[in-house]
Structure 1
Amino acid sequence: MKTGKVARYGLLIALAFIFSYIESVIVVPVPVPGIKLGLANLVVVAALYRTGGKSAAVVSVIRVVLVGLTFNNPVMMLYSLAGCSLSLLLMVLLKRTERFSIVGVSVAGGAAHNLGQIAVAAFMLETSALFYYLPALLVSGCVAGTVIGIAGAEIVKRLPPLS
């Protein structure tokens, strides 16, 4: 791998990690646990549109692992990996269709992230009761996805291709 590419990966991963840390210290005053803005997804969306799906996946997975090892526990890391994997898969597929805007792709990613986390949590805890959280989490995922998508679209517009 070329030095420039390694440096770009390092920069994107570090930026996503810092955004995750910032988000971990911000308390969102909502009655449903687990609602977050997803600031690190700004980096993932920018990577998806400027470097491609593979790069976005590398950045996202490494960020989740680093954040999991630094701030969370292995179970939380597993939930995050499930969410980021489903989110990435859906965002890459929707981007390839070229029928969705960056905002639309981001909204779908936010909703898919929450769905992936709830599905894994329900499986691990052997209860379907967690799906009662899903409507609130899907709404928050769509709102967060919209905000991240709008900001991501502005970043992508101003950022030159990074390939």
Structure 2
Amino acid sequence: MGGMTAAAPTARLPFGTTVERVRGGLACPACRAPSSLDEPFCAHCGARVVIGARAGRRPADVAATRSLQFAFLVIAANVVVGGLTFAAVFVVSDAARLIDAALFLEAIKLIAVGALATASIRFGVRGIRDTADGMLRRRGWAVAGIAISACFALLVTLSFALTLVLALR
């Protein structure tokens, strides 16, 4: 046993993790015997004592949820500003002012939807990236948030470009 050393496990736990506690420390996942934070292996059966994540929300789950929430806000902002644009058609009777009003409202929609879509995509990517083990329960929410936001951002950008082309004619 001369030159053999073993690294001592750290007692610091990553943020958001908990330990299944029994009297005297941890519970071994294999035999459910009490173990200690200072021992990486069970004294009873020799199995590795793993400190697992809590069954509640993980930060990646929250990011995936935020991604989908921002995607719904993208849809809501598009509907609200689209309604304002539709109302401007009835209020403004002069054709020259109508194009200017439409361009102005399309620019507002581009800024609002662009900001919300960017936030949605960033949260979705963070939610997917933060799960190195691939066990994100809400991975579909993150992907849906990214897809919805990207589609609406593309449509709003094309709508602004077409309105700009009409205004420049």
TM over 0.5: no
Which structure would you say has the larger Rg? 2
Question: Could you state the TM-score of these two structures normalised by the residue count of structure 2?
Answer: 0.31
Question: Could you state the TM-score of these two structures normalised by the residue count of structure 1?
Answer: 0.32
In proportion to residue count, which structure has more strand? 2
Higher RCO by CA contacts (8 Å cutoff, separation 6 or greater): 1
In proportion to residue count, which structure has more helix? 1
